[in-house]
Chains A and B, each alone.
Chain A
Amino acid sequence: GAVVSQHPSRVICKSGTSVKIECRSLDFQATTMFWYRQFPKKSLMLMATSNEGSKATYEQGVEKDKFLINHASLTLSTLTVTSAHPEDSSFYICSAHRLAGTDTQYFGPGTRLTVL
């Protein structure tokens, strides 16, 4: 199956700092990638849709200035959590949309962010 990587897998930072998370599709090109946030024992909450070469589309209630998304190439999207606070601590997961005849979405392994 298709492979999506995410880096880092875990990050601990101090309140007020910014954290960048990378999402890469390793063996296919993805014009669209998605960023999710997941709380313990909860479903995936879509934060934003990342489109290569254009601005990301944010879901209602998600601050675009807080969660900066850059989709610079067909295989890389980044999420930057700016001025992180403890309430931003969560599990962040990206996925890449593979369109090759049929549509499939593949997930990265996730990034555990802890803000102290």
Chain B
Amino acid sequence: GQQLNQSPQSMFIQEGEDVSMNCTSSSIFNTWLWYKQDPGEGPVLLIALYKAGELTSNGRLTAQFGITRKDSFLNISASIPSDVGIYFCAGQQNTGNQFYFGTGTSLTVIP
């Protein structure tokens, strides 16, 4: 199946710093989703993007649907310790079809 390339694989940052991660694909996607997973929990939906070029915020999180439809970005501003976790992107090519997931970005915030 499709595999989305997510980078970076892991990040170690100081509290207060901004974070940026991205997801790329060789195929065009019509929907991008971003999730956060805490240890021992299921992924929680953070932001959903449905339109090329769309920029959507959720608190300190901002995600963008790339204009080429082959990538998406997630930014976290002023990171705090509770931002620690694994962030996954997911892309869908056509409505009703399955979502494909990125390999995840592990974020560690150092107080």
Contact = CB atoms under 8 A, between A and B. Distances in A.
Interface of A: 1, 4, 6, 32, 34, 41-44, 46, 49, 59, 91, 93, 95, 97, 99, 102-110, 112
A34 B1 CA distance: 15
Contacts of B35: 107
A93 B31 contact: no
Interface string B7-45: 000000000000000000000000101010000111111
26 contacts: A4-B42, A34-B98, A41-B86, A41-B106, A42-B104, A43-B88, A43-B101, A43-B104, A93-B43, A95-B42, A99-B95, A102-B50, A103-B96, A104-B33, A104-B45, A105-B45, A105-B90, A105-B99, A107-B35, A107-B42, A107-B44, A108-B42, A109-B41, A109-B42, A110-B41, A110-B42
Interface of B: 1, 31, 33, 35, 40-45, 48, 50, 86, 88, 90, 92, 95-96, 98-99, 101-104, 106
A8 to B, nearest CB: 14
B78 to A, nearest CB: 23
A107 B43 contact: yes
B40 A110 contact: yes
A103 B31 contact: yes
What is the interface of chain B mostly: helix, strand, loop, or mixed?
strand
Contacts of B106: 41
The 5 closest A-B pairs by CB, nearest first: A107-B42, A110-B42, A109-B42, A107-B43, A43-B103
B42 A104 contact: no
A106 to B, nearest CB: 6
